[in-house]
Amino acid sequence: MARDVAVIGVGMTKFGEFWDRGYRSLITEAGSKAIIDARIDGKDIDAVYVGSMSPGRLIGQEHVGALVADYAGLVGVPAARVEAACSSGGLALHQAYLAIKSGLYDIVVVGGVEKMTDVSTEHATVALAGAADQEWEAFHGITFPGLYALMARRHMMDYGTTEEQISLISVKNHANGKLNPYAQYQYDVTLEDVMKSSMVADPLRLMHCSPITDGAATVVLASGEKAKKVCENPIWIKGSALATDTLSLHGRKSITKVEASAMAGKKAYQMAKVKPSKIDFAEVHDCFAIAEILAIESLGFCKIGKGGEMVENGETWIDSRIPINTSGGLKAKGHPVGATGIAQAIEATWQLRGQADKRQVKGAKTGLTQNVGGSGATCTVHIFSEEK
């Protein structure tokens, strides 16, 4: 019989540029915080999953599962790295959820980590380009700003979405990030700041883009039976879904609808037995500002093509109809790619525990996270609830 799965502990590092810290230092800090928060010991842990996109290219380190088990003092415990580009953290969470749901394990630690600033911007860009179609996209010189610029321009042409609407997302997410002590950027930006920032790939400007970031995040999952014994306020995972689309952008029927997100969202809603209207807040994958518009449309928070209007109407702020990216999102919180999906789950947990401080969504009972790999080739969606 399938079992209930809950989050019983969370922990993360601050996100940013850390010249004096290494990969193992970051994941060890996040993991230690999560285990302390869960009030468990190493002997209680059945397995470890770690989401990490490109440690081989970025720091020359492969064999990450063994590294994490070693430095966490968990030698002998099953440990494995999970990779799905920028959705590596979300996939690690999904895999751990399935392992507990099936009855294989009772308590699983799920981490995400990336150390991205020890290499040049050019080197990091090449590493990230591995999440695109190497033969048909990256080889010909297009990078992810270029791919998302194509998506943005088509959305603007088809639905009348404006640069101002896209820019308002950055304004909102910086306002939220200012309230998040773990965020890379903790300051406000104005609409003028965003719209006057340098052009990266028309129509996307520098302040429409998430940064290169170091950081780690960890959650501890437990079966329903274990959670009740060790945790006073478990947060229940009611839905966990994974979907894929074509790797290349040109292979899709539409470049303005993220089908993998729509499919994963539909499955997660079915599992949780909720509709989009019942979601109180969402953390979505705004690697570029246009991606937030594509996310809220694909997840059913508005009709396709109406995301820009929804943003312009102020419906996605913390105190509005459906708060989006209360953490600051990838834009302000930062985007250490392997850690992003786990950090989203941590924000959802804090919101549902009532521990989000000045970012707190009043009366939050159900939250959603959406973690995207590449230009939409992979997507994981999770739905969290304070109620079993």
What average pLDDT does range 86-93 have in this prediction? 98
Q: What is the mean pLDDT of the chain?
A: 97
Q: Dig out the tokens for 63 from the structure.
A: 């064999």
* 145 preceded by a cis bond (ω within 30 of 0): no
Q: Dig out the tokens for 328 from the structure.
A: 């600051």
pLDDT in the model for residue 1: 59
pLDDT in tens, 27-77: 999 999 999 999 999 999 999 999 999 999 999 999 999 999 999 999 999
CA 353 to chain centre: 19
| Residues 6 or more apart in contact with residue 121 via CB below 8 angstroms | 212
Q: Is the dihedral of CA 328, 331, 334, 339 positive or negative?
A: positive
CATH number of 131-210+238-382: 3.40.47.10
pLDDT in the model for residue 2: 77
CA distance 384 to 280: 10
pTM over 0.75: yes
Please identify every residue annotated as catalytic: 86, 335
Q: Find residue 283's DSSP bridge partners.
A: 369
User: In this structure, are residues 45 and 34 in contact, taking their beta carbons and an 8 Å threshold?
Assistant: no
Pairing of strands 47-51, 79-82: parallel
User: In this structure, are residues 256 and 154 in contact, taking their beta carbons and an 8 Å threshold?
Assistant: yes
Torsion of CA 319, 321, 325, 328, to 10 degrees: -30
CA distance 131 to 103: 32
Is residue 306 scored above 70 in pLDDT?
yes
Q: Which CATH number fits domain 5-120+213-235: 1.10.3720.10, 2.40.50.100, 3.40.47.10, 1.20.272.10?
A: 3.40.47.10
Q: Could you check whether 5-120+213-235 and 131-210+238-382 share the same CATH topology? A: yes
| Residues 6 or more apart in contact with residue 377 via CB below 8 angstroms | 85, 131, 244, 245, 246, 247, 260
- Please state the domain extents for the chain: 5-120+213-235, 131-210+238-382
3-state secondary structure of 357: helix
| Residues 6 or more apart in contact with residue 120 via CB below 8 angstroms | none
What average pLDDT does range 142-169 have in this prediction? 97
CA distance 22 to 16: 13
What average pLDDT does range 174-183 have in this prediction? 98
pLDDT in tens, 96-127: 999 999 999 999 999 999 999 999 999 999 99
What average pLDDT does range 137-150 have in this prediction? 94
Whole-angstrom CA distances from 286 to 162, 274, 329 are: 17, 24, 6
Q: How confident is the model at residue 388 (pLDDT cuts 50, 70, 90)?
A: confident
pLDDT in tens, 324-359: 999 999 999 999 999 999 999 999 999 999 999 999
